[in-house]
Structure 1
Amino acid sequence: MKIHFIAIGGSAMHNLALALQHKGYMVTGSDDVIFEPSRSRLDSKGLLPKEFGWFPEKINKDLDAVVLGMHAKEDNPELLKAQELGLKIYSYPEFLYEQSKNKTRVVIGGSHGKTTITSMILHVLNYHDIPVDYMVGAQLDGFDRMVHLTEENDFIVLEGDEYLSSPIDRRPKFHLYRPNIALLSGVAWDHINVFPTYENYVEQFKIFVDSIVKGGSITYNEEDAEVKNVVEASENPIRKLPYTTPEYTVEDGQTLLQTSDGPMPIEIFGKHNLSNLAGAKWICQNMGVDEEDFYEAIATFKGASKRLEKIAEAANSVAFKDFAHSPSKVAATTRAVKEQYPDRKLIACLELHTYSSFNPEFLKEYKGALDAADEAVIFYLPESVAIKKLKEVTPDQISEAFQRKDLNIFTEASSFHEFIKRQDYSDTTLLLMSSGNYGGLDLNEVKGIIEG
């Protein structure tokens, strides 16, 4: 098959392109800008466009399909040409469904935890040499790509994102997968530029549960009140399988999971990650992995990329960076790190970076998110607010939203960087949280300071 990608450089799109090439398809693509690591990965397989931009002449009747990425616009010249020729145009999730409609589809949904849970499941299956197709939103150790597609594998494991499918398909991605086996980890308002009210956001998860194939199953976190409401109110004739956080203890910075064979040391930590582990365990069992084999494999799981990633460690100090940026993730990550190192001072730094985080109404959702920190720091760039064409956000608004009077707020990258560099890190944990880059903070320099 000949497949053309419009906006091939996206994180998800370029992985799908690589997967299809690996499967034997003829793949071409276009984009107006491609960043690392997508650029190098496409280049290594001969898929990097020779020049950037949009070229309608690449679109012809010889193509079997076009895959349209979110980065493209509705008036994209290549899209208009494909529509004019009557070619089959897929969104990313539509194409994944097309590739997996004869497989057992396992879809992991939730506002938080879905990447980690999907990664845990794939780690366990890979450990035991159980072949599956997959799509996950993080690069994993031992995996060449974030997408893998075959004709022969019975299962496909999909991370179910609730964001929009394409510029011409405004449905959330996870509405299109029609799972046989599903999981829902948590519901906490996000993507307010697309879902302007909390009720509208929750509705997307109701549709997801109702989209599960009749006779299928939903494994759900019953400790999340909204998840419990959404799942238990659904009239879809499916099996409903609740899970809760397993028992665990923390001793000298080591988390021990309670199992039927006694306490088992694990690499990950934090209540939210133990909850994720419980969900992953039930999904793996639904896929034929027994409990003992699950525990053997999960003991070696070090975490998903960008999730609580240790960047420095000395005898009595440690530093982590984490992708957390939404209120629920920030709160869970901050609590987890404090619980793991309760006798150390915790300096928690959050960069406000997303569209949602600069919205005055949404800002209120951050109330108490940094309460577990001994010292709480907010960094944001006013120019980022201006670029997003939003109203100015003031330090007073931020302080009021977090409900913390001793909040340190920095609006200049140099001042924030200087603050990080001048701290005494004895008996201290540093936590950096952002989906951005902390104003260009040199993490190698931070590592040098902490490790001395």
Structure 2
Amino acid sequence: MNIHFIAIGGSAMHNLALALDHKGYQITGSDDVIFEPSKSRLDAKGLLPFEFGWFPEKIHADLDAIVLGMHAKSDNPELIKAQELGLTIYSYPEFLYEQSKDKTRVVIGGSHGKTTITSMILHVLDFHGREVDYMVGAQLDGFDRMVHLTEENDFIVLEGDEYLSSPIDRRPKFHLYKPNIALLSGIAWDHINVFPTFDNYVEQFRIFVDSIVNGGSITYNTEDVEVKKAVEASENAIRKFPYQTPAYTVEEGETLLETPEGPMPIAVFGEHNLSNLAGAKWICQNMGVDEDDFYEAIATFKGASKRLEKIAEGSSSIAYKDFAHSPSKVAATTKAVKQQYPNRKLVACLELHTYSSFNPEFLKEYKGALDAADEPVIFFLPESVAIKKLKEVTPQQIAEAFQRDDLKIFTDATSFHQFVKEQDYKNATLLLMSSGNYGGLDLNEVQHLMV
């Protein structure tokens, strides 16, 4: 097949392009800007556009399909040309469904935890040499790409994102996969720029549950009230498998999971990750992996990229970075790190830079999110607010939202970086949380701060 990607440089889009190239398809693409690592990875396979921009002349009748990325706009000149020619245009999730409609589709959904759970499942399957197709939202150790597609594999494991499918398809991605086996980990309001009310956001998960094929199954976290309500109220003819956080203990910075064979040390930690593990176990068992084999494999799982990733360690200090940015994720991550190192001072730094986090009403959702921190810190750039064409957010608004009298707030990168570098990290833990880059903070320098 001859496929053209409009906005090929995105994290998801370039991985799909690489997967289809590996499968033997002819791939072309365009984008107005492509950042690393997408740029180098596309270039290595000869898929990097010769020049950046949109070129309608790349669109012709010999193309079998167009894959349209969210980065493109509805008035994109290549998209308009494709529409004029009557070409088949897929969103990213539509194309994944097209590639997997004859497979058993395993879809992992939830406001939080879905990348980690998907990563755990893939790690366990890979550990035992079980080949599956997949799409996951993080780069995993031992995996060349974040997307893998074949003709022969029976299963495909898909991370089910609730964000929109494309500029011309406003449905959430996970509505399009029609899972045979599904999981729902948690529901906590996110993407306020798309789902302006909590009820509107929750409704997307109800639709997801109802999209599971007849006779399929949903594995769901009963400790999440909204998940429990959404699943148990569904009249879809599916099997329902509840799960909850398994028993565990923490001893001298090591988490021990209770198993039928006794306590087992694992590399991941925190209640949210233990809950994720319980969900992953159920899914693996539904895919034919028995409990003993799951435990053997999960003991070697070190985490998904950017999810509680250890970046530095000294004799009495340690530093982590995490993708957490929504209130529920920030609260869970901060609590997990404090629980793992209860006798160390926790310096928790959160960068605000998403649409939701700059909304005055949504900011109130952050109340208590940093309560587990000994030294709570917020960093944001007023320029980021301006770029998103949002109303000014003041430090006072942020302080009122988090309700910590000792909250430190930085609004310029230099001051924030100086604060991080001047802290005494003896018997301390540094936690950096953001889906951004902390104003260009050099994470390599953090290694030299640990003592």
Residue number in structure 1 paired with 2:23: 23
Q: Tell me the equivalent position of 2:180.
A: 180
What's the secondary structure of 1:362's corresponding residue?
helix
**Deviation by residue 1:17-44 (Cα, 9 ceiling, x = unmatched):** 0000100111110111000000000000
Output the CA distance in 1 between the equivalents of 2:117 and 2:12: 18
Query: 1:5, 1:437 → 2: CA distance?
Result: 27
Q: Distance in 2 between matches of 1:446 and 1:293?
A: 37
Task: Please tell me whether residue 318 in structure 1 is matched to residue 318 in structure 2.
Answer: yes
Corresponding residue of 2:284: 284
Matched with 1:153 is 153
Distance in 1, matches of 2:52 and 2:345, equals 48
Q: How high is the TM-score relative to the length of structure 1?
A: 0.99
For residue 281 of structure 1, give the secondary structure of its aligned residue in structure 2.
Answer: helix
Which residue of 2 is the match for residue 108 of structure 1?
108
**2:332 aligns to what?**
332
1:382 is matched by which residue type in structure 2?
Answer: P
CA shift, 1:360, in A, is 0.2
Map 1:368-447 → 2, pairs under 5 A: 368-447=368-447
Query: What code does the residue aligned with 2:6 have?
Result: I
Correspondence 1:222 to 2:222: yes
CA apart distance, 1:409: 0.6
1:183 is paired with a residue of what secondary structure?
A: strand
How big is the shift at 1:248? 0.2
Q: Secondary structure at the residue paired with 2:235? A: coil
What do the CA deviations read for 1:66-120 (whole angstroms, capped 9, x no partner)? 0000000001111001000000000000000000000000000000000000000
Cα distance, 1:366 vs. partner? 0.1
Higher mean C-alpha displacement, 410-419 vs 276-285: 410-419
Question: 1:286 is aligned with what amino acid?
Answer: N
Instruction: Report the counterpart of residue 249 of structure 1 in structure 2.
Output: 249
Q: Using the alignment, how far apart are the partners of 1:388 and 1:51 within structure 2? A: 27
- Whole-Å Cα distance in 1 between the matches of residues 3 and 136 of structure 2? 21
Aligned to 2:169: 169
Q: CA deviation at 1:442?
A: 1.2
Q: SS state of the match for residue 371, structure 1?
A: coil
Aligned pair count reads 451
Tell me what 1:307 maps to.
307
**1:271 alignment partner in structure 2:** 271
Aligned partner of 1:7 in structure 2 is: 7
Residue 167 of structure 2 corresponds to residue 138 of structure 1: no
Aligned residue for 2:359? Answer: 359
CA distance in 2, matches of 1:378, 1:224: 27
CA distance in 2, matches of 1:336, 1:449: 22
Partner of 1:43: 43
Q: Deviations over 1:257-300 (max 9, x none)?
A: 00000000000000000000000000000000000000000000
SS at 1:54 equivalent:
coil
Letter aligned with residue 146 of structure 1: M
Cα offsets for 1:366-405 (capped at 9, x unmatched) = 0000000011000111111111111111111101100111
- Cα distance between partner residues in 2 of 1:95 and 1:410: 43
- Cα distance in 1, alignment partners of residues 287 and 197 from structure 2: 36
How far the C-alpha of 1:163 sits from its partner, in A, is: 0.2
Q: Which consecutive residues of structure 2, in runs of 5 or more, have no partner in the other structure? A: none
Listed as ranges, the matches of 1:25-104 within 5 Å are 25-104=25-104
SS in 2 for 1:303: coil
Q: SS state of the match for residue 170, structure 1?
A: strand
Q: Which whole-Å deviations, capped at 9, do the CAs of 1:49-82 have from their partners, x for residues lacking one?
A: 0111111111111010000000000011110010
Distance 2:334 2:112 in 1: 14
How far, CA to CA, are the matches of 2:150 and 2:443 in structure 1? 39
Alpha-carbon distance in 2 for matches of 1:271, 1:280: 14
Once the two structures are TM-superposed, the CA of residue 446 in structure 1 deviates from its matched residue by 1.5
Amino acid at match of 1:88: T
3-state secondary structure, aligned to 1:363: helix
Provide the C-alpha distance between the structure 2 equivalents of 1:383 and 1:21, rounded to a whole number of angstroms.
Answer: 39
User: What is the SS of the residue equivalent to 1:220?
Assistant: strand
**Aligned-pair identity (%):** 84
Displacement of 1:443: 1.1
Two-structure CA RMSD over aligned residues (Å) = 0.5
Deviation at 1:186, TM superposition (A): 0.1
Equivalents in 2 of 1:418, 1:303: separation in Å?
A: 29
TM-superposed CA distance for 1:244, in Å, is 0.4
Q: Post-superposition shift, 1:445?
A: 1.3
CA deviation digits over 1:199-245, x for unaligned, max 9?
A: 00000000000000000000000000000000000000100100000
The secondary structure found in structure 2 opposite 1:333 is helix
The DSSP-based 3-state class of the residue aligned with 2:450 is helix
Within 1, Cα distance between the matches of 2:63 and 2:387? 38
Q: Determine the C-alpha separation between the residues in 2 that align with 1:41 and 1:93.
A: 21
**Alignment partner, residue 121 of structure 1:** 121
Cα deviations by residue, 1:126-151 (Å, 9 ceiling, x for unpaired): 00000000000000000000000000
Shift of 1:444: 1.2
- Please give the alpha-carbon distance, in whole angstroms, between the structure 2 residues aligned to 1:63 and 1:387: 36
Structure 1 residue runs of 5 or longer lacking an equivalent are none
- 2:13 counterpart letter in structure 1: M
- CA displacement at 1:447 relative to structure 2: 1.1
Separation of aligned partners in 1, 2:449 and 2:163: 39
Query: After the TM superposition, which segments of 4 or more aligned residues of structure 1 sit over 2 Å from their partners?
Result: none
* Structure 1 residue 362: Cα displacement: 0.2
The letter of the residue matching 1:210 is D
CA distance in 2 between partners of 1:232 and 1:57 (Å): 52
2:342 corresponds to 1:342: yes
Amino acid at match of 1:18: L
